[in-house]
Amino acid sequence: MAMKNPYYPYLMEVREIYDETTDVRTLRLAFKENGSSSEFSWRAGQFGQFLVFGAGECPFTIANSPTRKEAIECSFKLMGKVTVH
């Protein structure tokens, strides 16, 4: 059994976009790979490490309920290099 690579990310697809203010945008992200949504769990208040290939990664708190696991919602404020993508 191959060992799991903790640096391997979950690929997400942007399903919906809401502009909350001029520089805060909420994304609704769905897992692209089958089975990932049941494997991934979180507790209220926990943050995720979000990465954009080539740009880098940064932590943001997951905004939706851990009981609604079909997607992840998160609000990003425009700041630094990663969030401009």
List contacts with other proteins (CB under 8 A). 2-9, 11, 53-58, 79-83
Considering the complex, what minimum distance in angstroms separates the CB of residue 65 from other proteins?
A: 25
Q: Which is nearer to other proteins, 55 or 65 (CB)?
A: 55
Which value, in Å, is the radius of gyration of the alpha carbons in the chain? 13
Considering the complex, what minimum distance in angstroms separates the CB of residue 68 from other proteins?
A: 25
Q: Which is nearer to other proteins, 65 or 77 (CB)?
A: 77
Q: Which is nearer to other proteins, 55 or 63 (CB)?
A: 55
Considering the complex, what minimum distance in angstroms separates the CB of residue 58 from other proteins?
A: 6
| Contacts with 82 (C-beta within 8 Å, 6 or more apart), sequence order | 50, 51, 52, 55, 56, 57, 58
**63 DSSP 8-state letter:** -
Q: How far is CA 27 from CA 8, 35, 68, 73, in A?
A: 21, 21, 15, 6
